[in-house]
Amino acid sequence: MSSYDYIVVGAGSAGCVIVNRLIGAGKSVLLLEAGKADNTPFIHIPATFVRVLGTERTWNYRTEPEPGANGRVMHIPQGKTLGGSSSVNAMIYIRGQAEDYDSWRDAGCVGWGYDDVLPVFKRSEANQRLSGDLHGVDGPLRVSDTRHRHPLSYAFLRAAQETGIRYNDDFNGERQEGVGFYQTTTFDGRRGSTAATFLKAVRNSPLLTLHTEATVEGLILENGAASGVRYRHANGEVKSATVREEVIVSSGGIGSPKVLMLSGIGPTAQLSGVGIPVIRDLTGVGENFQDHISASVYGLTKNPVSLFGNDKGWRAARNGLQYLLWRTGLLTSNVVESGAFVDTSGCGRPDVQLHVVPTLVGDADRAPPQLHGISLNPCVLRPTSRGTVTLQNADPATPLAIKANNLTTGQDIDTLVRGVELCRKILRAPSLKSIIDRELAPGEPETLDRATIENHCRQFAKTVFHPSGTCRMGTDETAVVDTQLRVRGVARLRVADASIMPLLVSGNTNAPSIMIGERCADFVLARR
């Protein structure tokens, strides 16, 4: 049985960051990743990430039938490869709103206010264009403007401004509100996942032991403290490793609570019901599930100007050749190039985010319309709906039962309805109206009653793949981890990923997960 200073479970957005910082401090680390290496070109070429979703390099999680989505099952793909979801996402670099972190602090998570986390965001960041008080320029994480911007993305920007939304050149600046192009975690025309940045920097260190296709089946606990892990290789061989310092679980909003529950850490009734001996009764494990929910508005273009068909025939060959020769062109795009943050309720801060795609998009269970068009995708930034993830049995290979309960509060469906109505308005603004033939969904006429739009929201609802909150940080009895990410009542064990978020941040979760990884390393190494 091998022994290490630290064991990190999961080589994702936060896990690779933690490993980088621990190795840099001279610590030996065992890093266990359930997925394969990130050695497919579809991961590293920005525009081809959609070819990775649904493959063996993603966890293809499914919810239980959703009462708020007309009984439909929702799909939540998450990264199952080196870099985790930072290797399969749309690479959008968003931190969230200052108020998000101040609300964490005000709820008892002292040290997690915006003034506390901003220096950590800056330390990670190497921004191509921005600097000053709000941005870093020499961190491991490369942040840049996309090299390719589609004409439909520009048309959306102009149309949104024509409806009164101001232009914003930096969604991570003084104000999040506005419309603009997203910055992305890319560099030199390639994806900049945490595997390609943080992990790559220490990949050849003798202090690092990395196993891919190694699924953790449970933690080894002795006298109430974590002392190691049990993991299974792809060939079926089960091994164990011990730790001299700590185990850090970084398996994401769905994977991390599963690791804890399989190890006997979680709600007594739930664990006992599947025959797992309870080591530590923590009622919050698997509770507080939150995700961002979206519903597409489709505009059919008059001419064949969208991305539809660019992955076939001579167009695909031309795009591939341009990318190989010059690292320019369509394949350098993150596809979701433009978007907006809008206050649709008058609450004083954006409550809806728009992800705009210059083609018609589908979902895992719904093929996109085979036509040229644009998709405007509003999502609810701060959902009030809460769900759960629970074990179905004691077998580590059995998928969790995910009862997400999306769109089950009036506030959430009202916000999504307002977002859809806003997108329909933008679709009819002059700069888009001149190139749009008709609205494909929700559909004509321009004025639709509330019931029709609400039904569209529920029928087209899909997640933006940001599961979080299931190992909530806090100071009360239902919190799972404390403000230094230590699992309450279990020594030498921490959790560090989006699962610790008390409230989902107002935006994409990759950058915040990286910040959480940075903070975890600071706590472990006793840095200020």
Residues with catalytic annotation?
Answer: 466
Q: Strand, helix or coil at 262?
A: helix
Q: If we measure between CA atoms, which residue out of 13, 86, 90, 160 comes closest to residue 334? A: 90
- Provide the 10 A C-beta neighbour count for residue 103: 18
How far apart are the C-alpha atoms of 267 and 10, rounded to whole Å? 23
Q: Which two tokens stand for residue 94?
A: 């968003």
What is the per-residue DSSP string for 275-300? TPPPSEE-TTTT-SBB--EE--EEEE
How far apart are the C-alpha atoms of 464 and 138, rounded to whole Å? 30
Amino acid 159 reads: A
Positive or negative: CA dihedral 194, 196, 197, 198: positive
How far apart are the C-alpha atoms of 478 and 88, rounded to whole Å? 32
Element (H, E) at 225: strand 225-233
- Structural contact between residues 32 and 243, judged by C-beta atoms closer than 8 angstroms: no
How far apart are the C-alpha atoms of 240 and 218, rounded to whole Å? 10
**C-alpha pair distances (Å), 354 with each of 227, 294, 464, 477, 482:** 45, 9, 11, 36, 33
Q: Which two tokens stand for residue 156?
A: 């959306």
> How many residues make up the chain in this entry?
528
CA atoms within 13 A on the CB side of 103: 12
- Structural contact between residues 261 and 286, judged by C-beta atoms closer than 8 angstroms: yes
Positive or negative: CA dihedral 231, 236, 238, 244: negative
166: DSSP letter = P
Q: Which residues have C-beta within 8 Å of that of residue 105, sequence separation ≥ 6? A: 111, 112, 113, 116
Phi, psi of 5 (to 5 degrees): -65, -45
- Structural contact between residues 502 and 107, judged by C-beta atoms closer than 8 angstroms: yes
Q: Which two tokens stand for residue 429?
A: 């603004």
Q: If we measure between CA atoms, which residue out of 72, 35, 31, 18 comes closest to residue 463? A: 72
What is the per-residue DSSP string for 318-361? HHHHHHHHHS-SGGG--S--EEEEE-SSSSSS--EEEEEESS--
Quote helix, strand, coil % in the chain, to nearest 5.
Answer: 30, 25, 45
Q: Strand, helix or coil at 353?
A: strand
Q: Strand, helix or coil at 145?
A: strand
Q: Which two tokens stand for residue 266?
A: 């979680």
